[in-house]
Amino acid sequence: MTRIKRLSLFYLVLTITYFFVFNSCKKKDASNSGYPPNTVVDIDGNVYNTVTICSKTWMVENLKATKFNDGTLIPCITDSTIWDTLQSPGYCWHKNDLITYKHPYGALYNWFSVNTGKLAPKGWHIPTIIEWYQLINCIGGINVAGSKLKEKGTTHWQSPNDDATNEFGFTAIPTGGREYMGSFESIGTQTEWWTSSGNVNSNACYVRLYNLHGYMQDNVGPLQTGFSVRCIKD
């Protein structure tokens, strides 16, 4: 066999080998993704469904991450006194009961966790109060927004909750919260979500829903308070 023929055969084999290796890698990567469409995965591996409302994509569930998106652990604070005096990031589960309340309620975070800018999965963020109001106004205003965002029925909400329609699939459930002094309250009757908007009086903005009506309230609360978090895509 001549030198030219040997070289031609060598390059042919090399090309075929590259083709099969490259394509097998692509198939492996695609199959290993393993997550259905319209979902997002946090750094802990929790998978969240998403929904697009008025051109913005939101998580359908509350955040459950126990680490920031750079891998740093968020301290889990069970002691009420420590929770009350904490001036740094912390989270907890309702009544300090992970087994009962992680699913479907999610974690409760103080605002110091939110303010790091690293709580949401990469490519997502904690909405500002302006972004919440963009959602509220787009679906009909504060008097009816709660009805349209709440999960229907009384599986999680206490009665009456008869105004709830969940017509956009947002599926808000009543997570309650943890007061800045450390006590847990209001699960079943209301839910609050932190925004990323703070103010100069050592408070930050949050939004709230109730089981009694469809009004969606905004307010400010102490930074040590434990509230739920929903994320919005960048």
**25-47 pLDDT per residue, tens:** 333 333 335 778 899 999 999 99
In this structure, the answer to whether residues 86 and 174 fall within a common structural domain is yes
Domains of the chain: total: 2
Q: 29 with 51, same domain? A: no
What percentage of the chain reaches a pLDDT higher than 90? 82
Residues 21 and 57 in one domain: no
DSSP-derived secondary structure letter, 162: T
DSSP-based three-state secondary structure for 167: coil
Residue 77 and residue 21 share a domain: no
Show the domain range for 5: 1-34
Strands (E), the chain: 39-41, 47-53, 56-59, 91-92, 108-109, 124-125, 177-178, 184-185, 190-198, 203-210, 217-222, 232-233
Question: What is the C-alpha separation between 219 and 227, in angstroms, rounded?
Answer: 13
Distance between alpha carbon 139 and the CA centroid of its chain, in Å? 20
Residues 102 and 62 grouped into a single domain:
yes
Give the integer Cα–Cα distance in Å for 11 and 175: 63
Give the span between the Cα atoms of 140 and 127, in whole angstroms: 19
Rounded Cα distance between 216 and 138, Å, is: 13
Answer yes or no: do 20 and 51 share one domain.
no
Q: Could you tell me if residue 82 is left (phi over 0), alpha (psi between -120 and 50 degrees) or otherwise beta?
A: alpha
Q: What is the pLDDT of residue 36?
A: 86
**Euclidean distance between CA atoms 186 and 180, whole angstroms:** 14
Q: Identify the pLDDT of residue 21.
A: 35
Q: 13 and 90, same structural domain?
A: no
Same structural domain for residues 79 and 163?
Answer: yes
Helix or strand (DSSP H, E) at 178: strand 177-178
Shared domain for 212 and 187, answered yes or no, is: yes
**Are residues 140 and 94 part of one domain?**
yes
The angle subtended at Cα 172 by Cα 176 and Cα 201, nearest 5°, is 55
In a shared domain, residues 192 and 109: yes
Per-residue pLDDT reduced to its tens digit, 103-121? 999 999 999 999 999 999 9
Contact 222, 50 (CB under 8 A): no
Mean pLDDT for 173-194 is 96
d(CA 118, CA 124): 10
Q: Are 54 and 222 in contact (CB under 8 A)?
A: no
Closest Cα partner for 113 from 87, 150, 78, 79?
Answer: 87
**Where is average pLDDT lowest: 19-28, 125-134, 202-211?**
19-28
**98 and 202 housed in the same domain:** yes
Q: Provide the token pair at 4.
A: 């030219």
